[in-house]
A and B are shown apart, each in its own frame.
Chain A
């Protein structure tokens, strides 16, 4: 079935293109499956993680954070924000205090992140690339580009 094979390859290419930046190196950005956003710009992600943007696809946005020394989260912060994780966590602390940002949910593992992101539309989290390979249907990958 050459046509089916070509279609599968094209579908694979398109899906991977959308997920490429999310899966760069050792982390992946995931969102709740009820919220269909497939791709966010780097600027959008920064705005969501600092309270400037308050919605994701029409739902109230809430982000999941991980400990300062957590490898996937550290790499995510380094690549998207270009700052140390400690600095981002301090910024989030201040934005919550300002009333600009919903208190983030805290996770210590990929399973925690998946569970929390599954819980409500508008929730965003970071998992390891390894965990991104076997996500439940309650979450989906979000590409980061631009």
Chain B
């Protein structure tokens, strides 16, 4: 405890100019090796992948912020392409309101805007399939272009956090992201609300989502794919996450309904996953369970039939080798819903980096 005289000491040092973080460019990515097999020669594949190199920068000046995440990514054709993953310009009005415009990861569930494309930060090798990106077979609109607002309010011992988004939403093609313009007039609206308790439960996040969109109809390309009329989509979800006391816990559940406006046919897909890990110094062993059920009649927007549903279980370990390198090893099995389909076993190793 210091005496008042010391607390009141007046120094004549003049204040320097306003503190500002310098703009820095960070590099993220991962190199993977995987073996996947159904137990037959024809059903076996293996190989290495150095398919992602990401450039990340962020800068804050007073209440304005800028963030960009640009990725060089190789796809099935084995050549690299440049993808602008996130570009956000934001203004912080108060604790209750921050507004961002640009291309962002939709505030849906927990995983999508917690880990982005940073395998280095994830405990497992990759995302659960239901929250994979559009080109990775995910069920969610992972990217969106528009306006995002968020804020935080005290609520009892804890806080309420909201995220509200107005965006272009989905394109007629599930793989496409509407970066330049929206294919129809109605916009996607997304609301996520979370409660962050205090006290003994400090660190816990529990939340829910409601997402609504009108998806434009697809043109018949003449390439064999049937034309698909306009669709109304809603997504409701719940999630929980906890990362205190060396624990890593994430659980999410989603129900997605696609209504064909021409026929009023409704297709409802259900999915969920749970992930649990515990850090022992640098080592974090983990398990993950995933489940997805497509409707009996299939979902024409996803292009999935009931037999494309699955359950998957994964077991692995992450080693936080340095501040910049993480090594991971993981084994998993996927059990397709289709009767008679063989289970698929996968073993994956990963070096994830952040410099």
Contact = CB atoms under 8 A, between A and B. Distances in A.
Interface in B13-38: 13, 15-21, 24, 26, 28
A55 interface: yes
Nearest to A84: B281
Interface in B307-326: 320, 323
Interface string A92-110: 0110111100111100000
Given A94-B121, A118-B15, A62 B21 contact: yes
Contacts, number: 119
Contacts of A98: 113-114, 116
Contacts of B86: 99
Interface residues of A, number: 48
Nearest to B19: A119
A43 B13 contact: no
Interface string A67-95: 00000000000000000001001100110
A18 to B, nearest CB: 9
Contacts of B78: none
B121 A134 contact: no
17 contacts: A16-B3, A19-B1, A52-B196, A54-B98, A96-B58, A97-B26, A98-B116, A103-B58, A115-B16, A118-B16, A119-B17, A120-B18, A134-B11, A136-B13, A137-B11, A138-B13, A138-B15
Interface of B: 1-4, 6-13, 15-21, 24, 26, 28, 56, 58-60, 62-63, 65, 67, 86, 88, 90, 92, 94-95, 98, 100, 104, 113-114, 116, 118, 121, 152, 159, 161, 196, 198, 202, 320, 323, 354
